[in-house]
A and B are shown apart, each in its own frame.
Chain A
Amino acid sequence: MIQFNQVYKRYPGGHEALKDVSFEIAEGEMVYLTGHSGAGKSTLLKLIAAIERPTSGSLLVKGQNIRSIKREAIPQLRRNIGLIFQDHKLLFDRTAFDNVMLPLQICGFDHRESAKRVRAALDKVGLLAREKANPISLSGGEQQRLCIARAIVNRPTILLADEPTGNLDADYANEIMHILQSFHQIGATLVISTHAENVLAHLPARELHLKLGALQ
């Protein structure tokens, strides 16, 4: 599903964010990506979603080489990847419902079918009652759950979560982790970056540890 082979990522200016990274994630696997901030966790996730491209090495995501992927092919790749951001990246000019609707609009889904799916996604993260709320009126935990609903609404095969519990207290964090794990159980490939040790203890899975851009 995801295959890193001697991947390097060097940013303009010379900072080397990833060094000789090689690993493989199988379909339906759940993996933790750990390490201190600045270790390269975010860069690694950005490479998978083709937000950045590797400087050298090969990275295959669903059979596509991210180093040489054509610009026009990126949207189709990203529709198969659900992205969950630490800063949520929600749009405050529309309701919670419309935020979750956006990926389906982009894919050109029929409106009535979309509305059903949006409600199902909101229900899964426990926000069905807040569908008309503006995301700005939601708490941090609720915003994170809304971000998850948006990521899963068009049923991607890969879910990437960048520090999904970063700003949340333990109770909220556990809730988020359980929601994420439920998608793993129905077959999604899941990569979660985190620096919170207690999360790992709670829901054990394979761990990839990054240190200064290199895999330990």
Chain B
Amino acid sequence: MQYLPNVIFVILLIAGIGFFVKNVSKLKRNIFLGKEESLTDNKPQRWKNMAMIALGQSKMVVRPIAGALHIIVYVGFVIINIEVLEIILDGIFGTHRMFAVLGPVYDFLIGSFEILALLVIIAVVLFWTRRNVIKLKRFFKPEMEGWPKNDGNLILYIELVLMILFLTMNGADYQLQQMGAAHYVQAGAFPISSMIAPVFEGMSISSLVLLERAAWWLHIAGILFFLNYLYYSKHLHILLAFPNTYYGKLTPKGQFKNLQSVTDEVKMMMDPDADPYAEPAEDAAVPDKFGASDVQDLSWVQLLNAYTCTECGRCTSECPANQTGKKLSPRKIMMDTRDRLEEVGKNIDANNGEFKDDGKQLLNDYITPEELWACTSCNACVQACPISIDPLSIIMDMRQYLVMEQSAAPTDLNNMMGNIENNGAPWPFNQMDRLNWSKES
């Protein structure tokens, strides 16, 4: 019986981490439903980008208020989680404050965790205020209705509860230390929770122990819950921001990829030695589909982008089309891509690992041509993303599908392309008149 708490703890830990690992493998499977894309080049630059953008939050501070608050929550969570290591070890071995042997170092650690916890609480409250009281415009776009809105608030509530539990646990512990309760060694500095400790005055040792234990268990259970909540929420960015910034685009933003299959075709057309009547080889591969109409046509990095998006909406608020009331929202492009990818993933799970055609696709069922055609390819969304997501590349791939597979360009654009084809300019001017300007006064 003595070891019952330890056993329960280990079971909880294994279940929590096990379930998380299971979801991670599903996540990986879904991401790699995307097309292969080799991004093994320029490793030093990639590591640097990850260090600067994800670890260093360099693009968060472009918006100073949100940036500063975010850094508090980020640093708070990363550092306070050192404490989780102690909690886990204590839980497994049935010890209490195992790291107390570190002496003054421990005091410093616990003290700074507490200050950070308070700062996190303040930041979370301010974040909540921005979403629910000030009602910042970018949180109230059509794509944010329903689950995305609740998800955003829920994350803030969970973070708040975790921090309160942490401080309650410490406050009760501090009070027990003052009372000289057995097992509660004098350890740690409690600059914040010592302030709430007076609330516990007059409580018996046994009820304080109960309170401290309850907060301890709920705190670790809450962390394990949060870990597993990630997969179902926009909050995956706390993990995926790192690979996403590593695999982010390194070439100039204006450089769009040239399609190799088209290059091969064009080269063959230009080759004077090519046999125009040649039959395709017996074993010739089916020609690539041009562009993207569904998630499997996108590259795995674009799908990683979709899971990484935390729906902050900086892209959408910078988008010229969105600012002027068009339907396009780069954030919605990312959210739709993820939703469709999840749907495809569930379809595969339900059909023994095979995707069964469900009569749906990303194009039309999620993203409409009207949204795609509103894009000016200005790269404002790409620039705005604090973690190197590229909504523009998805928009362009889908336009490519519309034009090259469906010939479904707007009439004006068909005219423009017809002109380029016929006379080498987007307008109907004769190529032979190209130098006339030099003779006009």
Please say whether chains A and B are actual partners in one complex.
no
Residues of B whose CB lies within 8 Å of any CB of A are: none
Residues of A whose CB lies within 8 Å of any CB of B are: none
